[in-house]
Amino acid sequence: MEHLDPDDDLDDIDDEGDHRNPRNSRHFEHHRGPDLDEESITDDLDSRFDHHVVPITVGLGPTDSLSGLTLHQTLSGGDLSTFASLHSKTPLSSSTPAPGDDVSAAGEHYGPAPKNAQARRGLHHKAIMKKKQVKLTRGELILDCRIPSILYSFLPRKNDMEFTHMRYTAVTSDPDQFTERGYMLRQNLDTTARETELFICVTMYNEDEVHFTRTMHGIMRNVAHFCSRTKSRVWGKDGWQKIVVCIVSDGRKKVHPRVLDALAAMGVYQDGIAKNLVNGRQVTAHVYEYTTQVSLDSDMKFKGAEKGIVPVQMLFCLKEQNAKKLNSHRWFFNAFGRALNPNVCIMLDVGTRPGPTSLYHLWKAFDTDSNVGGACGEIKAMKGKGWVGLFNPLVASQNFEYKMSNILDKPLESVFGYITVLPGALSAYRYHALQNDENGHGPLSQYFKGEKLHGKDADIFTANMYLAEDRILCWELVAKRNERWVLKYVRSATGETDVPDAVPEFVSQRRRWLNGALFAAIFSLIHFRQIWTTDHTLIRKVLLHVEFFYQFISLLFTYFSLANFYLTFYFISGALSEPLLDPFGGGWGARIFTLLKLFIILLISTQFILSMGNRPQGAKRMFMATMASYAVIMMYTTFASLYIVIKALTRTSPVVATDASIGNNVFTNLIISTASTLGIYFLMSFLYLDPWHMITSSAQYFLMLPSYIVTLQVYAFCNTHDVSWGTKGDNTINTDLGAAISGTKGNDEMVELEMPSGQLDIDSGYDEALRNLRDRLEVPQEPPSVTQEHEDYYRAVRTYMVVVWMVANGVLAMGITEAFPVTEVRGNWYLTFLLWAVAAVAFFRALGSGAYLVIEMMYGLVEGKFRIDISRIKDRFEPPWKRIQKVNAKANEKAAMQGP
């Protein structure tokens, strides 16, 4: 491994003319900051950094740290005099000015400007690259690069190389061959050999620095929580040594430049180090390793040890090509996972902000139950400051959807032991459980099969199934041969994530989710017999089959949801066309129903045409118009339902007053169905101490419900031929970074490459990263691609599927409407079945959710940790506006303490 020494050629620089030379005692002492204690640095480090590091004065106030400073303050002379001392003028010893010399007001003599003077270097200096001879390590380019002087000067720990040097590895192999080719991570080296208990994966594509720092700062707060558990048998003050955070970026040319600046500010990344080729071999990934001691929050403020931040072992994998998310996970599991062999792996998406203790609770689920193979937490929708996001119906409806899924669906599936999907935004897996068997078959082999599926090599069923590859991983984990792994929902582990707030992004996201979920559900139902090859107990196998039956019923309702939506509107709204029930009189109920009936048929037909030939990004207004139209139809249907219920309860109409026994009157059935669904939603929300979404978001969700059924379903079915993630594979070999090539013929151990020539060049790159983050420079957006691949095979199969789906729903709708007149609803057995089925499904979900609460309570009693915390209950029921007032008051108090 080569230790880079950018100052190897300092003999070529005049000692008196360049402040970078640390051997000049006068300049060295002049720039030496008072915050650097020589006695705290070992003799070994003194010898190591004698020609490497130039300590500089960092004016940070009493705490001598960057914690809490904004990037503007960091670079301003008033708060950080980093570069001020480097460019201060030192008067000459002579007091007599020479002819033609300038004399300052104070009479200080500076001498004339020298001819051909070197450009001023420092604050806005651009790094100078210089060719150097570097020795390869086992034929691979591995460099230990010193961190910037500014960063080094305020680090609380400087006693190990992991804090003072960033390690760069140019990987030229496939991720599956990472360990076979002899690549090692710092945790494998003798000097920093450690066991990894927790391996955290953060995948990103082109997200900006706000999303990245939101996630990264949340992770660092969680690592600090692990270290605060001093009584734990696993964790403690040095618990950070058992945690590695891996960031995998999908494509070097796709990563957001400001994210690289944020990583550079933390010491993890340095520009100008990476190379495209090593002795003619293409670099597939650039791996940067560093143990950082600083964090950036989403406001671009530094947080250090004073704010409780502990060291965090960082691993940044910058993939050379854009090879999609599955490939990023293959780097994580098959390359770095094999090198570290962790116990638990946690998966996060950039933009997700984990709760302060969420990662601990996820890890604890594996520690307390050896049968847990996977777990997930509660995903919350970000609602914005003061919950202003809820004014957007899209955000509010998704907030309600997420909440009810976490209250009803996830607990139900957790009780059975099989959660259909562990969301990639916040989930965890036991690494051992994911491993393949001796024949190479297992969860990971099935999971990564989708990476190689292209064109006719994969049928449309398999290709769409792998759009929800995390569902395949969950199924393969539970159904693993001769094992008894279960999946668990951890309610105490929470994470906030952005949800789409615009129609195009919302429709595109749900297209992939719906198609992947549909085909993955069909796959698991077809292969349900695989459960009998596992080592699950008989009771568990029976419970899993009950869940399979529930999924089958849900799948049928999903497939025929379009027809059921139309039939519900047809019979409920059509009931108002009965003269005795007409709320408007004069036959207007019948006229409105006829108009809306024709309009909804036209609207659904338009939706098919729109979805077959347009992208949401290109037809935004048309998609918004259809969704608004469905909301109007839903409002009228809701009005009709309430009107019928009131008439039934008051018995003021002979149409609803006769034969009102349960099961014989559709209006009575309507009351039971509606009351059971809404009542269960309210009841379970209160039992989970989380009721506010019922007040703030339920109305928006029910108005958007037809759009969930029609707009999203139709667009998803009409685009089953599109099996992309919205990104294209990148196979171009780039050479913009340069290459590491043999400097001498026949000597493959020495290569020549361009590197920053001096410590100041490293510092200038760090300063540029800070300025970019401070100024929030705009990054130009690439125009969308005009050309798109047209795969005739997928399109043909898509057409067949859409036709079959349309015919199936159309036949059902026409058959029921022809069999039962709209004004004669008392004998409509299908509508009765539909309403009671909705009530039964809601009751089944509530039963499973309640069982989860009981089991959680029993576990708490057994462990002696269950107690009723009245203050916690009050906090959960506290109105949101009260919480906002408390947060604002706390922020004002903090600002007052800090002063102007």
Tens digit of each residue's pLDDT (9 = 90 or more) over 262-296: 999 999 999 888 888 888 889 999 999 999 999 99
pLDDT at 760 (0 to 100): 62
Angstrom distance (rounded) from CA 826 to CA 655: 9
Choose between 522 and 746: higher pLDDT.
522
State the average pLDDT over residues 554-580: 91
In the predicted structure, residue 25 carries a pLDDT above the cut 60: no
Q: Under a CB-based contact definition with an 8 Å cutoff, are residues 229 and 237 in contact?
A: no
Burial class (CB in 10 A: 0-12, 13-18, 19+), 317: buried
pLDDT-based confidence at 702, cuts 50/70/90?
Answer: very high
Angstrom distance (rounded) from CA 578 to CA 442: 61
Choose between 63 and 618: higher pLDDT.
618
Hey, which of 539-548, 741-750, 835-844 has the most confident mean pLDDT?
539-548
pLDDT at 139 (0 to 100): 84
- What is the distance, to the nearest Å, from the Cα of residue 70 to the centroid of all Cα atoms in its chain? 25
Q: Tell me the per-residue pLDDT of 185-241, one tens digit each, with 9 for 90 and over.
A: 999 998 889 999 999 999 999 999 999 999 999 999 999 999 999 999 999 999 999
What does the DSSP assignment read for 676-732? HHHHHHHHHHHHTT--HHHHHTHHHHHHHHHIIIIIIHHHHHHTTT----S-----P
Q: Tell me the per-residue pLDDT of 239-257, one tens digit each, with 9 for 90 and over.
A: 999 999 999 999 999 999 9
In the predicted structure, residue 368 carries a pLDDT above the cut 90: yes
Diameter of the chain measured on Cα atoms? 117
Contacts of 549 (CB under 8 A, 6+ apart): none
pTM for the model: 0.79
In the predicted structure, residue 62 carries a pLDDT above the cut 70: no
Q: How many CB atoms are located within 10 Å of the residue 596 CB?
A: 19
In the predicted structure, residue 588 carries a pLDDT above the cut 70: yes
Is the sign of the CA dihedral 271, 273, 278, 280 positive or negative?
positive
pLDDT-based confidence at 428, cuts 50/70/90?
Answer: very high
pLDDT-based confidence at 723, cuts 50/70/90?
Answer: confident
The residue written with tokens 């450690």 in the block is: 194
Angstrom distance (rounded) from CA 164 to CA 158: 6
In the predicted structure, residue 37 carries a pLDDT above the cut 50: no
Identify the DSSP state of 782: P
In the predicted structure, residue 43 carries a pLDDT above the cut 70: no
State the average pLDDT over residues 20-43: 36
pLDDT-based confidence at 886, cuts 50/70/90?
Answer: low
In the predicted structure, residue 697 carries a pLDDT above the cut 90: yes
Angstrom distance (rounded) from CA 202 to CA 182: 24
In the predicted structure, residue 878 carries a pLDDT above the cut 80: no
Amino acid at position 729, single letter: G
In the predicted structure, residue 67 carries a pLDDT above the cut 60: no
Angstrom distance (rounded) from CA 848 to CA 854: 10
pLDDT-based confidence at 104, cuts 50/70/90?
Answer: very low
Q: Tell me the per-residue pLDDT of 485-500, one tens digit each, with 9 for 90 and over.
A: 999 999 999 999 999 9
pLDDT-based confidence at 555, cuts 50/70/90?
Answer: very high
Q: Under a CB-based contact definition with an 8 Å cutoff, are residues 292 and 263 in contact?
A: no
Angstrom distance (rounded) from CA 496 to CA 672: 35
- What is the distance, to the nearest Å, from the Cα of residue 221 to the centroid of all Cα atoms in its chain? 17
Q: Tell me the per-residue pLDDT of 602-655, one tens digit each, with 9 for 90 and over.
A: 999 999 999 988 889 889 999 999 999 999 999 999 999 888 878 777 765 555
pLDDT-based confidence at 770, cuts 50/70/90?
Answer: confident
pLDDT at 672 (0 to 100): 77
State the average pLDDT over residues 416-444: 93
State the average pLDDT over residues 562-579: 90
C-alpha angle 183-188-190 in degrees, rounded to nearest 5: 120
pLDDT at 592 (0 to 100): 93
Q: Under a CB-based contact definition with an 8 Å cutoff, are residues 217 and 348 in contact?
A: no
In the predicted structure, residue 69 carries a pLDDT above the cut 80: no
In the predicted structure, residue 730 carries a pLDDT above the cut 50: no
Hey, which of 77-81, 298-302, 341-345 has the most confident mean pLDDT?
341-345
Choose between 69 and 152: higher pLDDT.
152
pLDDT at 45 (0 to 100): 35
Q: What whole-number percentage of the chain has pLDDT above 90?
A: 51
Is the sign of the CA dihedral 799, 802, 804, 807 positive or negative?
negative
Identify the DSSP state of 12: G
pLDDT-based confidence at 762, cuts 50/70/90?
Answer: low
Average pLDDT of the chain? 79
Choose between 732 and 710: higher pLDDT.
710
Q: How many CB atoms are located within 10 Å of the residue 332 CB?
A: 23
State the average pLDDT over residues 668-676: 77
Q: Under a CB-based contact definition with an 8 Å cutoff, are residues 812 and 560 in contact?
A: yes
pLDDT at 55 (0 to 100): 36
pLDDT-based confidence at 315, cuts 50/70/90?
Answer: very high
The residue written with tokens 């690549």 in the block is: 183
pLDDT at 761 (0 to 100): 59
State the average pLDDT over residues 753-761: 61
In the predicted structure, residue 74 carries a pLDDT above the cut 60: no
Which run of H or of E encompasses 198? strand 198-204
State the average pLDDT over residues 698-710: 95
State the average pLDDT over residues 590-601: 93
What does the DSSP assignment read for 270-283? -TT---SEETTEEP
Is the sign of the CA dihedral 635, 637, 642, 643 positive or negative?
positive
